[in-house]
Amino acid sequence: MNVRRQHDLDSDSPQRLALVPPLKVVEVLRPRPGQRFLDVACGTGTFFFPVFESMLGKGVFLAAEWDEERLRRFLTRLESYVEHPGYTRMEVVRTKPERLPLPDRCADLVLMAQAYHNLADRAAYLLELKRLLAPGGTLCLLDWHPAAEDPASAGKKTLGPDHSARVSEQQAVRDLSAAGFRWLVAHAGFAQHWCLTGRV
């Protein structure tokens, strides 16, 4: 997996949150109390904590991150939840480039937001994510549109990674299909981003 670029360190800026409102992500995931949720490349918890709150802390909550600085920021935020009754159901995992050190079928919902473009071997990593999902589980991928899918940003300095590093929604659909995900759905409502869900 490639090293995360500097632009990714500011995922909680007001400009970034306006493009991808956390509650909109929760709406797409439709989590239910009692489910097992895994946030891959969780960063500082931009989406992890809103999902946790929407489920009232009732379930299992796994946060996986490979960047040390973002993991440190996540753990700082986690401290503010120590009095929450669901605190003991949260687990943080330091990931590796090629494999998530988690057991098979450990999650009902998996989110990977604004990190798919960082993967060096997307096909292999999707199979790894599929391994972690229970039968009937849902994967949600959310990432930046390249210029071809976002004409308004062509030639302009925008937030997010270089357009040359971005993965198109069409390519992501092909990747998901090749990995065996079904019931693929494209979700609208995210500026400069595509959002896809698929089931196993």
- Evaluate whether 142 touches 113 at the Cβ level (below 8 Å): yes
pLDDT for 168 equals: 97
| Residues 107-131 as b or e (16 or more Cβ within 10 Å = b) | bbbbbbbbbbbbbeebeebbebbbe
Per-residue pLDDT of the chain (200 residues; tens, 9 = 90+): 444 444 454 667 788 888 999 999 999 999 999 999 999 999 999 999 999 999 999 999 999 998 999 999 999 999 999 999 999 999 999 987 678 999 999 999 999 999 999 999 999 999 999 999 999 999 999 999 998 887 666 555 678 899 889 999 999 999 999 999 999 999 999 999 999 999 99
Model pLDDT, residue 157 = 62
Q: How many residues does the chain have?
A: 200
Cβ-Cβ contacts under 8 Å for 80 (sequence gap 6 or more): none
Where do we find the tokens 């609208």? 188
Provide the pLDDT for residue 13: 75
Supply the pLDDT for residue 12: 72
Give the ranges where 20-165 is alpha helix by DSSP (H).
Answer: 22-29, 48-54, 68-78, 122-132
Under DSSP, the state recorded for 11 is T
pLDDT at 2: 41
Amino acid code (one letter) for 2: N
pLDDT of residue 150: 74
- Domains contained in the chain, CATH given: 19-199 (3.40.50.150)
